[in-house]
Amino acid sequence: MGNRPVEGLPQLSRRGRILLLSAVGLLAALIVLPVLVGMYTSWLWFGEVGYRTVWVTMLVTRLLLFAAVAVLVGGAVFLAVLLAFRARPVFLPGRAEDDPIRIYRDFVRRRPRLFGLGIPIVLGLLCGLIAQSSWETVQLFLHGGAFGVTDPQFGLDVGFYVFDLPFYRSVLNWLFVATVFAFLASLTTHYLFGGVRISWSEGGISRAARVQLAVLAGTFILLKAVAYWFDRYALLSSGRKEPTFTGGGFTDINAVLPARLILLAIALICAAAFFAAIVLRDLRVPALAAILLLLSSILVGAVWPLAVEQFSVRPNAADRESPYIERNIEATRQAYGVGADKVEFLPYPGIGTKSPRDVPADVTTIANARLLDPNLLSHTFIQQQQLKNFYAFPATLDLDRYVIDGKLRDYVVAARELTPSSLSGNQTQWVNQHTVYTHGDGFVAAPANRVNAAVREAVGDTSSSNSGYPVYTVSDIASQGSGHQVIKVDQPRIYFGELIARTDPDYAVVGGPEGSAPREYDTDTSTYTYDGTGGVSIGNWFNRMAFAVKYSERNIIFSKAIGSGSRIIFNRSPAERVHLVAPWLTTDHDPYPAVVGGKIVWIVDAYTTVNNYPYAQRSSLEDLVVGAEPAPVRRGGEVSYIRNSVKATVDAYDGTVTLYQVDQQDPVLKAWMSAFPGTVQPESSVPAELRAHFRYPQDLFKIQREMLAKYHVDDPREFFTTNAFWSVPSDPTVESNPYQMPFYVLVGDQATAEPSFRLASTMVGFRREFLSAYISAHSDPEDYGKLTVLELPTDTLTQGPQQIQNSMISDTRVASERTLLERSNRIQYGNLLTLPIADGGVLYVEPLFTERIASEQNTSTFPQLARLLVSYREPGATGGVRVGYAPTLAEALDQVFGAGTGGVATAPGSGAGPPPAPPPVGEPAGPPPPAVANPATADELNRAIAELREALDRLQRAVDAYQTEPPR
């Protein structure tokens, strides 16, 4: 039977080839054009914010890394294919039936460049694209220095593990990839051209194929030997013992580490065996070597450590692991900044020995006790201060402090931002959305410890009275120049913010043709033209077309609202702007607005992080901010080292981003400042007014309290038993929260009695509800970053948040009145504050908010402060818990500590001079009342005014009811 001709691949006609090439070209244009446009607009944006050197450095590093890996992998594959092709056998099988791959061989012969160049180029490009994302590893390797701390196993500086080891492992990984691809390419080429023959009837391998494959296989094994060497250092970040601790344990150091050295030696022998195949025709030697390496990996690398773990470590775990737990404790404290240099542990009895009125610091603490919960008041702010449908406030408001009339006070603050998603009707047209409604309006603040008036009546609908609401300090365009601004804002317009940036696409076009009238909405009677420096000029047609492509919006080209003076403002999220100019930073989830020098600026906390600090426990910022708004901007997953080394500000009007160094000892920040010189301003350049608004960041505090829950323990054996561990308490006021959020408080300093702004959290016993510790972090400039831990005794039990909440709501007064309130209101408990007072005692303060249940007639409901709950443990070893429940904090304190305590404690400075003019906490604020000789008289007057208002409200409702449905 004759041989059938082997059919080749189908041939395209000339027209088909033209159509195919046109389609490929169009597809390439669709892929490449947006990339080029994105690069160009990024170039413009980085120039606008003044960080173009960052963009250039990143781009150059990415391109060089892309090129290096692409050449390495593509070059290795090309060289392997070239050598295999040149060494192909002269004679091939003659019968087509015995040659099933002949069609592919013929194709390669006809198009050798497509095969010999196309495959290496594609593989090289793909690997280069993957590798370029590791530009940070390269920059840290080039600019990293020493930590000044050595690891306890190898005696190397921690900088080797953080800066050098990741780079070495990355290089090794790409050498592995290049070798494997080269081996596969060589094997495939030799098989195609007969150098390697595999069939049922015969098999064989040519000398050239044997030599080339042996060299590549030997190189792979040699690289594996090098990997075993570096794997030794990776043991110090081992997760074998998690969740107990991180780092090399007894098994790692005494079994796995020697095993790595044994495997290294075996790998060297195996590599020599493969290289010997170059001169030996017998392939059994490298085959046996491969089997030896495989068996050694199983027996020495896996079975032996498992046996040591099961039969030596587990029966004596506490003793065996103690030295390594001690290493973990020391390293974790250093990595998370919770060592002895940062944290002060103080014993705290949990039982008061004095009256708060006799402790000057307590007078300050109680006078500044926060009544307003920023987690609940967003809707109240919106209802009372929104002004327009397209303005809004974030779901969670912020807390900050200001010096007013010479006194430090904390405020619930928010920026009245534009929310383009709330535009409706004709407002959503492109011209209106992007050129008219362009900015927010104003900074809103309310004293955190005051409301306009106390809610006196609980029966029926408490929301019918205008009581229990914040006292606003408003700074908006309408009030500009009025002279009544307590917090003066010279430029209240907000073009950059958290809510503005949540619209897609996120941009605004400001300015217009030269001489054109203002078109941006400012107030109902005025318009405005942006005159700041923010935004990229789109006065020329090239830039207009670039942004039209970027946003797929033709109006940017054809709109007459855009002219020579137009600018486009985009990337308006404060956290995102900081992340873009400093992508090596991790930003906190909660930027907050502050008024500094008459300007509204966003303050963004930023962290330097690494994930391979030897022996340090791993943690995750993402797990601690689940559901946070806005979403945090993260660089990665788990971390084992973190520092709040940078404070960033973003001007709400012109978008200027400024990075300030606030930790001069952070070696990671030093490396990045060396890589990007001039991007981070030295700590000495921080303005004093700005520093006064720095807060200890919540994300860092959360991760530190998680560490302190375990790593306050010094004894490694006690650490192993977990008996002395703490836990973060669950939130007693919000069932959906797995843990209680830390809270900002203004407390009295024990030494000076002056108010001190701190971030605090309680800790309870491990899987228990009794109070074990109280952690606070200082935010004041002079003590910023200092952590204080009050440790409660274990032989007496102090109720924790969950228990105290149950005690308060089960009080007969609270339970009975709650029944009345719930008839027409929804009850919401505010954040439960824990305040150390009375020289050893613990005071709990919790606001109770009511919100009218919405109806078809009235859907405008929002929370108001209705009651204050306080709780305090009575002195004595068996003392019970006293509960106070009243419309004002002063009255609730009187119920707990006795008559007169509330009036004295809520008057800051009492005992050191005449009482100040401001009214007691929780009482009507309004305009400052005239000074009176007897504070109790003012208190009674305020109560009488509130009762009169409520009586008038009831009378008005009765009249309205009579007019609606008169009696028959």
Beta-strand ranges (E) seen in 853-941 are 864-873, 881-886
- Rounded Cα distance, 766 and 138, in Å: 42
Q: Which of 835, 840, 703, 706 is closest to 766 using CA atoms?
A: 706
The H or E element that residue 286 is part of is helix 284-298
**Which residue in 405, 406, 407, 398 sits closest to 370, CA to CA?**
398
What is the per-residue pLDDT for 622? 74
d(CA 734, CA 743): 14
Residues 6 or more apart whose Cβ sits within 8 Å of residue 299: none
pLDDT confidence of residue 930: 34
Q: Is the peptide bond before 630 cis (omega within 30 degrees of 0)?
A: yes
Angle at 730 between CA 727 and CA 733, to 5 degrees: 155
Residue 879 backbone phi and psi in degrees, to 5 = -65, 145
Spatial CA neighbour of 761 closest among 706, 828, 688: 706
Residue 404's nearest CA partner among 447, 438, 341, 458 is: 447
Q: Give the model's pLDDT for residue 923.
A: 41
Distance CA 444, CA 1 (A): 95
User: What beta strand segments (E) does 749-824 contain?
Assistant: 755-765, 770-778, 787-791, 798-799
3-state secondary structure of 262: helix
Contact 157, 149 (CB under 8 A): yes
Contact 769/729 with Cβ under 8 angstroms?
Answer: yes
Q: Is the dihedral of CA 216, 217, 221, 224 positive or negative?
A: positive
Residue 934: its pLDDT value, please? 36
In the numeric block, the tokens 């941006």 are attached to 520
Residues of the chain with pLDDT under 50: 1-6, 8-9, 200-201, 460, 626-628, 631-632, 907-939, 941, 959, 962-968
C-alpha separations of 909 from 54, 232, 496 in Å:
51, 62, 40
The values of phi and psi at residue 723, to 5°, are: -65, -35
User: Under a CB-based contact definition with an 8 Å cutoff, are residues 455 and 462 in contact?
Assistant: yes
Per DSSP, 939 falls in state: H
Distance, CA of 555 to chain centre: 36
Give the DSSP H/E element, type plus range, for residue 68: helix 52-86
Closest CA to 415 of 455, 384, 445, 377: 445
| Structure token digits, residue 654 | 């012109």
Give dist(CA 338, CA 336) in Å, integer: 6
* Cβ atoms < 10 Å from Cβ of 319: 13
C-alpha 776/C-alpha 729 separation (Å) is 15
Distance CA 890, CA 895 (A): 9
Q: What's the per-residue H, E or C state across 698-753? A: HHHHHHHHHHHHHHCCCCHHHHHHCCCCEECCCCCCCCCCCCCCCEEEEEECCCCC
Question: How far is residue 68's CA from residue 166's CA, in Å, rounded to a whole number?
Answer: 17
Measured from the Cβ of residue 39, the count of other Cβ atoms closer than 10 Å reads 12
CB 395 within 8 A of CB 781: no
Give the DSSP H or E segment for 658.
strand 657-661
Per DSSP, the three-state class of 408 is: strand
CB 435 within 8 Å of CB 924: no
Residue 435 CA: distances (Å) to CA of 13, 32, 768: 53, 30, 57
DSSP letter for each residue of 913-926: SSPPSSPPTTS--S
The whole-number pLDDT of residue 199 equals 60
631-658 CB burial, b ≥16 within 10 A, e <16: ebbbbeebbbbbbbbbbbbbbbbbbbbb
Q: Which amino acid is at 660?
A: Y
Place of tokens 């001007």: 651
- Quote the CA–CA distance of 148 and 431 in Å, as a whole number: 58
pLDDT of residue 93: 52
Amino acid at 612: N
CB atoms under 10 Å from CB of 451, counted, come to: 26
User: Do 837 and 362 touch, CB atoms closer than 8 A?
Assistant: yes
Cα–Cα dist 656/533, whole Å: 8
Angstrom distance (rounded) from CA 323 to CA 306? 20
pTM: 0.87
